[in-house]
Structure 1
């Protein structure tokens, strides 16, 4: 869920008042900018890209027109003598943005699906594999939510020799480059109620599944797009708060409100009782309706229930523990902020810079599709930098696309700084969007 709508708590309003949301320098465009040059001979630069969303079918994939530019940038990275690492911070391949009525695997399996993605995006995969095989640049893949269920084996099958930064649980990972333990790179979906892996819900009908509700949202949104943004073919029944139902019912009402907003923003031609969501992925074998994923109520003002993800409002604490979330987010806050990109950015600060158990000073997320740089302080009043690496999808409303982050680590010289720069490559012209620096 990647749009922006959220009011920050009073505490974090105070925090962000001291934040420079665009980094230390303003945007700069220069056709002569070489983002992959450190001015010397050392190979030490770390490039972070995320959210390419490469699909198996270019008729509906979110990244099609931008593929030539992505291939060109990857070739520039490959040729750069100063680049040491390329980190792909999630959503490289897309198993979610598939129209609801489409059989994702076409009767086959995930291994075949990933091979189809590599074939549809052959130019990009050819360059990535060339970089890996040359061995000059370490390529590391970190999982995101749209590739949350893609196995390490299937990633290896299309990128042989790639390094993979994964947690012990499928669908998550955090990467700190060798010799730079104060840098953390992850996708950012770990902290989102709709997008974090859910190994608890739906086990009765889909044993072993980790797909969260955002998967079903994205299937619906993709169908909305290929239906050319239609007028609604149905209306959701109104659900009202169950005053006497306690905290669990209140949380499920909050969850219903997010689904009601979803169906308002992404209407379908179909009736909501039509079995249109074809799964056959990650443990699911059935075909489901919109009514299966949206909470319902009977009678008015009475018990609220839901078919898929039944009990999800009560297991968020357990999900966070399983997903290695250091500082837990309340369920109400997690549901209310589920469509907030700002909340994802805030969690970078909460989980790393405001966490006394963390020593990270530079954090890079993807996930939100909103490229930005934010400077703040940790609990020891040391400067910290958060950057979001944006996206490469063709259409990113009201925001840029073709984004990437470059980190140039400090040297032993006490006057040197670790530089973090955020760039854009739209129209195949490098634009520096923001930069900041610190020494640790």
Structure 2
């Protein structure tokens, strides 16, 4: 029988300064670890420490290599163990670790852990252009930039003030001993952000050559990287450069790699040691930005015409932003009455009308909406259009119709099929969520992680909202979505001059890491958000 005067032996718990999980598939990222500090809820029995804690590095083949570690009990806090590596230096970046704490570890009261503890964590590989000892002199970093929006005329282009910084950034990329790839994820040249009244050149080649000439410092910097041959440079199409053809890119940036679908204006670049990385612009799933090879064929008489409605939206937005989004306009737009919702086609037109109404409330212009102002001469379009040509209207018979993008609501599913959208998006949802960046970000899960277990990292641009987010695939493995942001001069509410860095696992290491950074005019680099790691 137990003596009632015998002290009760409790159960120990602990906290750590290192983020850990109990899943080998999902080790949390830690930016920098000098010392692992484990703080228990009771004073420890020093004699039990050294045989009760073990640390292992996880190698690419899954093998565990036991680390030589040193222990120290905090002089001022006997509840705390401080663990260092043998050299008492910062733990090597870009590694996955396993820590074991045995229930043989005891408190002076005799208390133990309820059971053996096993935890997993990863260490980040931080980025600079010159010296990263943790990379063992390997070229293992992929730099991803997007949404440069280089324009044909600095009088209205979105990227003017940041061009010098961009050139400086690219010059540093060129000399980096760690970078293996540079990926341009769309919207390199901007063929959309033009005033409505802008006179386009006679040919598309002439337009893009003009953009290149206006941004020759940036083009030269890209060409210097390509010609040096140490870094693979890849271009992926975006929506603002949807008409930039393979031949255009090859002419302006000779020797560059291009990742393109069979159809113009889309592409996915797959890279990584295990083809685990998928990179594309992100406009494929946006009803206003993904190619439209159907709606305007009667107007363009062109079997290759693909300009989506976002092109005309952006032309209008250019004027609105240049005019300061004026609120004292007197424009009137077509009036449409709500149809019977059972008439899916007519109701689809009505929802489109509501969307355009909201657009013009957000981006009003001084120009008369009924006046022919939007000059084209592009992709088979030859007329000058009015803003109202984009608005559905009721004809004399009370039937809703539209001039541009006729029957867009009825052909959306066919358009998705042509554009390789694997998980179809309902028309109303596609309209309602087109302007939300979360909708685009979510397609990394819907169109990649949920469908293909081999894809562990997906990077988009398009939204201008740089971020790095952990995700999980159906197999329970950690995946990572990142957005590379933008380099435009003004990006209200969000950073600009951002880029993503994927550090691939070193020869004998198990993890890839993903980080978002911001460049500055002072040539400094700032980590913008917490990085993430996946174990291979």
TM-score, with structure 1 as normaliser: 0.89
Following TM superposition, by how much is the alpha carbon of 1:426 offset from its aligned partner in structure 2, in angstroms? 3.4
> Out of 83, 89, 99, which is 2:195 matched to?
99
- Alignment of 1:377 onto 2:481: no
- Supply the distance in 1 between the matched residues of 2:192 and 2:206 (Cα, whole angstroms): 16
Instruction: State the match for 2:460 in structure 1.
Output: 365
Distance (whole Å) between structure 1 residues aligned to residue 357 and residue 273 of structure 2 = 47
Residue 112 of structure 1 and its aligned partner are, at CA, apart by 1.2
Higher relative contact order (Cα pairs below 8 Å, separated by 6+ residues): 1
Distance in 1 (CA, whole Å) between partners of 2:477 and 2:280 is: 22
2:337 to 234, 237, 240: 240
Matched residue count: 409
Partner of 1:400: 495
1:16-415 to 2 correspondences below 5 Å? 34=128, 38-39=132-133, 40-105=136-201, 108-177=202-271, 179-206=273-300, 207=302, 208-230=304-326, 231-243=328-340, 246-298=343-395, 302-355=398-451, 357-413=452-508, 415=509
Once the two structures are TM-superposed, the CA of residue 92 in structure 1 deviates from its matched residue by 0.1
> Which portions of structure 1, spanning 4 or more consecutive aligned residues, are displaced by more than 6 angstroms?
none
Per-residue CA distance 1:125-173 (angstroms, 9 max, x = gap): 1110011111111110000000011111111111111111000000000
- 2:349 is paired with a residue whose SS is helix
Between Structure 1 and Structure 2, the one with more strand by share is: 2
Contact 1:209–1:283 (8 Å) recurs in 2: yes
Instruction: Judge conservation of contact 1:327–1:351 (CA < 8 Å) in 2.
Output: yes
Mapped to 2, the partners of 1:424 and 1:112 lie a distance apart of 33
**Is 2:526 aligned against 1:431?**
yes
Per-residue CA deviation, residues 78-113 of structure 1 (Å, 9 max, x unaligned), is 0101111100000000000011110122xx211111
Which residues of structure 2 form unaligned runs of 5+?
Answer: 1-27, 32-125
Aligned partners of 1:38, 1:261: CA distance in 2, in Å? 49
> What whole-Å deviation, never above 9, does each CA across 1:20-54 have from its counterpart, x for those lacking one?
xxx9579xxxxx96167542211121100000000
**Which stretch of the first structure deviates more once superposed, 245-254 or 153-162?**
245-254
Shift of the alpha carbon at 1:255? 1.3
Quote the Cα distance in structure 1 between the aligned partners of 2:340 and 2:417.
30
TM-score, scaled to structure 2: 0.74
Q: Residues 24 and 269 (structure 1 numbering): CA distance in 2 closer, same or farther, change over 3 Å? A: farther
Gaps of 5+ in 1: 1-22, 27-31
Which of the two has greater helix per residue? 1
Q: Deviations over 1:404-429 (max 9, x none)?
A: 0001111342x531011100113443
Check the 8 A contact 1:233/1:268 in 2, yes or no: no
Conservation of the 8 A alpha-carbon contact between 1:409 and 1:418: yes
2 CA distance for matches of 1:114 and 1:37? 37
CA contact (8 A) 1:46 1:408 kept: yes
Task: Specify whether residues 240 and 416 from structure 1 end up closer, same or farther in structure 2 by C-alpha distance, changes over 3 A only.
Answer: same
Give the CA deviation at 1:235: 2.5
Inter-CA distance 256–25: structure 2 relative to 1 (3 Å threshold): farther
* Larger Rg computed on CA atoms: 2
Tell me, yes or no, if the aligned pair for 1:423 and 1:433 is still in contact at 8 Å: yes
**SS where residue 284 of structure 2 aligns?**
helix
Q: What is the CA distance between 1:291 and its match in structure 2?
A: 1.0
- C-alpha contact 1:38 1:45 (8 A) present in aligned 2: no
- What SS does structure 1 have at the residue aligned with 2:469? strand
CA positional deviation for 1:180: 3.9
